[in-house]
Chain A
Amino acid sequence: QVQLVESGGGVVQPGGSVTLSCAASGFIFSTSAVHWVRQAPGKGLEWLTVISDDGDYKYYADSAKDRFSISRDNSRDTLYLQMSLLRAEDTAIYFCARESVVGDVFDIWGPGTMVTVSS
């Protein structure tokens, strides 16, 4: 079935780095834009970044543009999010989400991976 599955979360020290992965299956990954969205504990959803289907275009939220980097490997059906200089406020569940063919809608979400920034 159509699905996304994130991995790579865990406990990271302040100032550290981590790379999250999102494995896609059940659809033609290379034809979809994909996004990262996060949710701090007990808080709402926050859009972070998107990458176009071919990887040529990337856009970032103001909160992500200086420290986060999105990339994809269409040969591996995998999306990535590199995060650096992590702060306590980056503690959150990180979701990857597929953009629908109609555009500007997140129609498939992964279950998320938790990143905890703590010493």
Chain B
Amino acid sequence: QSALTQPASVSGSPGQSITISCTGTNNDIGSYNVVSWYQQTPGKAPKLVLYGVNKRPSGISNRFSGSKSGNSASLTISGLQAEDEADYYCCSYARGSTLYVFGTGTKVTVL
């Protein structure tokens, strides 16, 4: 099972919106509405920011939103803030013995 494909980096200015794509196959994203997104800052553990494609855990800003179409999912951060600078990983449930597959990760830079 290969990792989901994400752009290596995305950048934006404060206040702008950015979108991170996550491309899989019909063995993962395409077959299940079980896509989650994690934010990771240097030296820290990942933190859940979205699940079930577009649901936000308690305490996560409504500036984070998600969607899915076919074999791809995306995370949009609106009103970009300096604190959003981090690495972001998508994750999907997958068909096969490897139950979960993560994305390659995207570094978000706030200019």
User: Is the CB–CB distance between A105 and B36 below 8 Å?
Assistant: yes
Interface size on B, residues (CB 8 A): 25
User: Is the CB–CB distance between A109 and B57 below 8 Å?
Assistant: no
Is A29 an interface position by the 8 A CB rule? no
Is B104 an interface position by the 8 A CB rule? yes
Q: Chain B 66-102, CB within 8 Å of chain A: the 1/0 string?
A: 0000000000000000000000010101000111111
Q: Chain A 83-119, CB within 8 Å of chain B: the 1/0 string?
A: 0000000000001010010111111011110000000
Residues on B with beta carbons closer than 8 Å to the beta carbon of A50: 99
Residues on B with beta carbons closer than 8 Å to the beta carbon of A107: 48, 51, 57
Told that A105-B48, A111-B44 touch, could you supply 5 new A-B pairs with CB distance under 8 A? A37-B102, A44-B103, A47-B102, A61-B1, A107-B57
Q: B residues touching A (Cβ–Cβ < 8 Å)?
A: 1, 3, 34, 36, 38, 44-48, 51-52, 57, 89, 91, 93, 97-105
Q: A residues touching B (Cβ–Cβ < 8 Å)?
A: 35, 37, 44-47, 50, 59-63, 65, 95, 97, 100, 102-107, 109-112
